Amino acid sequence: MQSSTPLPHQFPHDLLQRRRVLKGLLGAAALVPSMRVFAEPSHVQLHIDDVKIAQVPEDFTGLSYETSQLSHPEFFSAKNTALIAFFRTLSSPGVLRLGGNMSEFTRWDPAATMAEPPGETEGPDPGYGSNRVLPVTPRAIANLPGFLNATGWRLIYGLNLACGDAHAAVDEASQVVKFVGDRLIALQFGNEPDLFKHNGDRTRKWTYDEFLAQWMVFYQAIRAELPNVPIAGPDTSNPRWNAQFAKDVGHKVVLETGHFYPEGPPSDPRMNIEYLLRSGERARSFTHQAMELARQSDLPFRLAEVNSCYAAGKPGVSDTFAAALWAADLMLTMAAAGASGVNLHGGASGLYTPIAGSPSTGYEARPIYYGMLLASQFAGATMHQTLLDAAGKTATAYAGTRNGFLHVAVLNMAPDPIGVDLHLPAASARNSATVWRLQAPSIESKAAVRLANARVNPQGVFRPHATERLHFRRGLSALQLAPYSAALVQVR
């Protein structure tokens, strides 16, 4: 663990002058959570302003699973106490989204005539689809509220639009509404419809008009039976479809949803750790588009499915500590931009799943879970503008106030150590702070990841052991970050 080094009591005149100039140059960056200006090579300057830029919902943190996981009815149930503990440690409240590619291979089976598949879990789709039909039964739906009540989470529920039947969807949705009640955020129809293929001609994708026509069939059928149920969409990976959807039927939904994967396919040798850690600008560009559309349509936006590399992830990338740093940065980028939440996709023992395992074998927190856990400390926070002179380093920073604390997260995505000169608002000028470190033996580590010098144990319990303190003088202090690491500074 790196120890903190206090700044000298006196500061050279030229350094203070550079800080004044820097603050003037960055004054136009009010809506940007962090901005890079090339300056000194050894230290980065971080100014936390009183300017408030976003309010983070309490249930900002989320997980996404394939709808096919419901073919094992006891998985999302009150009986799965070990998984419940991992959910609650990550965040309570939170949001569970059920959807994914495998939703196209599920069938509503109200009489439970189909056999349950072998095993206990269904992982993310690696892009091959399935030759199986995976049943979703009333028993699986009836078990959901027990799981949701125990975790404190709510639900976004996806229905099979690509291969489903509107009448069956109405029946399935009625059961969800009946059992889940006010823990249901919304229903949504289809998963990434911009990638749907036509039956009998897998080379020809659906057009937007074809999608909207089928979406309206489902919408009208659902509305006829469930006039008040909230609906979200379009759950697409194509921002252009989201924009058109908002114009055409935005008044019919309560939430706009989308997907984002910075890497893929896994077979591409360019999809490596370095590419993932340098994907921040693409994430910020995506976030800017999504939130601009949300403002225009007056709809909240949730990133309902996201992870490192599509087609179920890439070994040596998605399952490493690099994914933890990436996930923390992505979630905080979305939080600072005003998104309503982020759902990391996973399930079973998939390469990029945050929680791996099954009811019989137990569960473990993968590296990416720890990045989510750091970002989750900002749930419910009021985000503040951060002005970051990254000195040519790959570094990002975020700040927010919650429950009387100022939280400052700084992430070093580079192979060199950095020193961060922290400049706090006047209200925090005389205070001391605790520091949680997010670190691992190396960026390629698949185990031994720690946050606040602690690990999540097999029972899903996390007890931070950080004893490091940071002291401020006239609102200034210095923080040292090791290569490929992050720190969460918490100031009362």
215 shares a domain with 82? yes
Same structural domain for residues 357 and 433?
no
Tokens of 20: 């004044």
Identify the CATH number of the domain in which residue 209 sits.
3.20.20.80
Q: Does residue 343 sit within a domain?
A: yes
pLDDT tens track for 363-373: 999 999 999 99
Whether residues 354 and 332 fall in one domain: yes
- Residue 469 CB neighbour total at 10 angstroms: 11
For 78-111, b/e burial (b = at least 16 CB within 10 A) is bebebbbbbbbbbbbbbbbbbbbbbbbbbbbbee
Q: How far apart are CA 141 and CA 477, in angstroms?
A: 52
Q: Among residues 251, 379, 374, 234, which one has the least CA distance to residue 304? A: 234
* Torsions phi, psi for 275 (to 5 deg): -60, -40
28, part of any domain = yes
3 state SS of 64: strand
Cα 254 off chain centre by: 20
Q: Examine the domain organization and report whether 372 and 446 are in the same domain.
A: no
Same domain flag for 443 and 317: no
C-alpha dihedral over 264, 133, 163, 261, to 10 degrees? -20
What does DSSP say about strands 255-260 and 197-198: parallel, antiparallel, or unpaired?
Answer: unpaired
Q: Examine residue 137 and state whether it is found in any structural domain, yes or no.
A: yes
Please answer whether residues 423 and 476 qualify as being in contact, where contact means their C-beta atoms are separated by less than 8 angstroms. Answer: yes
State whether 385 and 410 are in the same domain.
yes
Domain final residue pick, 312, 346, 378: 378
pLDDT of residue 42: 61
Indicate the burial class of 182 (C-beta count within 10 angstroms; 0-12, 13-18, 19 or more): exposed
pTM: predicted TM-score of the whole model, two decimal places: 0.90
Q: Are 60 and 341 in contact (CB under 8 A)?
A: yes
206 and 241 share a domain? yes
6 part of a folded domain: no
Main-chain dihedrals φ then ψ at residue 290, nearest 5 degrees: -65, -45
Residue in 444, 445, 452 with CA at minimum distance from that of residue 486 = 452
Q: Is 76 helix (H, G, I), strand (E, B) or coil?
A: coil
Q: Which residues contact 159 (CB under 8 A, 6 or more apart)?
A: 103, 169, 172, 173, 187, 188, 189, 190, 218
Residue 393 CA to chain centroid, in angstroms? 24
Number of independent structural domains in the chain: 2
Residues 6+ apart with CB under 8 A from 380: 56, 57, 58, 60, 402, 403
| Residue with the two structure tokens 């600072």 | 336
Domain of 429, in residue numbers: 13-55+381-491
Q: Would you give per-residue pLDDT tens digits along the chain (492 residues)?
A: 333 333 323 333 333 333 333 333 233 333 334 434 333 446 899 999 999 999 999 999 999 999 999 999 999 999 999 999 999 999 999 999 999 999 999 999 999 999 999 999 999 998 888 888 999 999 999 999 999 999 999 999 999 999 889 999 999 999 999 999 999 999 999 999 998 877 656 568 899 999 999 999 999 999 999 999 999 999 998 999 999 999 999 999 999 999 999 999 999 999 999 999 999 999 999 999 999 999 999 999 999 999 999 999 999 999 999 999 999 999 999 999 999 999 999 999 999 999 999 999 999 999 999 999 999 999 999 999 999 987 677 899 999 999 999 999 999 999 999 999 999 886 555 678 999 999 999 999 999 999 999 999 999 999 999 889 999 988 899 999 999 999 999 998
Of 353, 378, 403, the last residue of a domain is 378
Asked whether residue 7 is assigned to any structural domain, the reply reads: no
Instruction: Of 111, 107, 82, 96, give the one whose Cα is nearest residue 159.
Output: 107
Boundary (domain end) residue, out of 378, 401, 416? 378
Query: Is residue 210 located within the same domain as residue 93?
Result: yes
Over the stretch 168-223, which tens digit does the pLDDT of each residue have?
Answer: 999 999 999 999 999 999 999 999 999 887 765 656 889 999 999 999 999 999 99
Is residue 374 domain-shared with residue 390, that is, in the same domain? Answer: no
CATH of the domain at 457: 2.60.40.1180
With respect to residue 364, please indicate whether it lies within any of the assigned structural domains: yes
Matching residue, tokens 């690696």: 126
Same domain, yes or no, for 319 and 227?
yes
Is residue 8 one of the residues assigned to a domain?
no
Token couple for 4: 């903190």
Half-sphere exposure of 252 (CA within 13 A, CB side): 19
143 inside domain: yes
Token pair in block for residue 149: 């009540």
Residues 252, 342: one domain? Answer: yes
Could you tell me if 350 and 313 are in contact, meaning their C-beta atoms sit under 8 angstroms apart? yes
| Beta carbons within 8 Å of 102's beta carbon, 6+ residues apart | 66, 67, 68, 122, 125, 130, 134
Strands (E) located in 74-167:
95-99, 106-108, 134-136, 154-159
Q: Are 233 and 88 within one domain? A: yes
pLDDT of residue 466: 84
Under 8 Å between Cβ of 367 and 448: no
